[in-house]
Copies of this chain bind each other. A is one copy, B any other.
Amino acid sequence: MKAGLNRTTIIEMAANIADERGIADVTLKVLAAELGVKPPSLYKHFNGGLDELNKELMLYGWRFLESKITKVAIGRAKDDAIMAICYAYRNFAAEHKGLFEAMQWYNMYQSEEHLQATQGMVSVFFQVLDSYELNEEQKVHIVRMFRGFLQGFSSIESHGGYGNPLSLNDSFDFALKTILNGIHDLQGGIEK
């Protein structure tokens, strides 16, 4: 009894490994070594083994992202708030490639929990959209659009999937402006 581990420290180490060495190195072997412990010890904290650990890593990532997003949205409104949220999302993906990967990746098996995990982020979007003149349906469409775009764009960018040398910042900005334009069109088209 030396290491003094707990679920949080283990998950944080897993996130670190994912970011620094790539998601393929998030194994019980590597993780245990980094934590100065033997692989079987990790079962004392994660009964379900690697599977459970990966699931928790996924949830941790979404909560982390939610906190970032919430933070930047404070004190901002409307387009300003949305832009801030979107940039925070993209920055998060860039700064935590491995973790972001894990968030995408491990959703497939646990769609129930994935739903809950992303609920926080969705709420922030809805809250900001409340100050626009939109009905509920429209808001749902818009949030889905942002989520789809942000996840896809960040994912492709993060893997170097956009070949053209043209600025990715510009493309991201262009896309956000386009979506925001779409939102304005749904209203009187005036207030921003």
Contacts and interface: CB of A to CB of B under 8 A. Distances in A.
Interface string A145-168: 101111111111001111110101
Contact of A152 (B107, B141, B155, B162): B155
A115 B161 contact: yes
A178 B178 CA distance: 8
A16 interface: no
Given A141-B170, A155-B104, A159-B107, A148 B175 contact: yes
A76 interface: no
A191 interface: no
Nearest to A110: B159
A181 B175 contact: no
A152 B148 contact: yes
Number of copies: 2
Given A151-B156, A156-B148, A181-B182, A108 B23 contact: yes
Given A147-B156, A150-B152, A174-B145, A163 B119 contact: yes
Nearest to A150: B152
B161 A153 contact: no
A67 B108 CA distance: 26
A57 to B, nearest CB: 16
A6 interface: no
A131 interface: no
Contact of A171 (B22, B140, B160, B175): B140
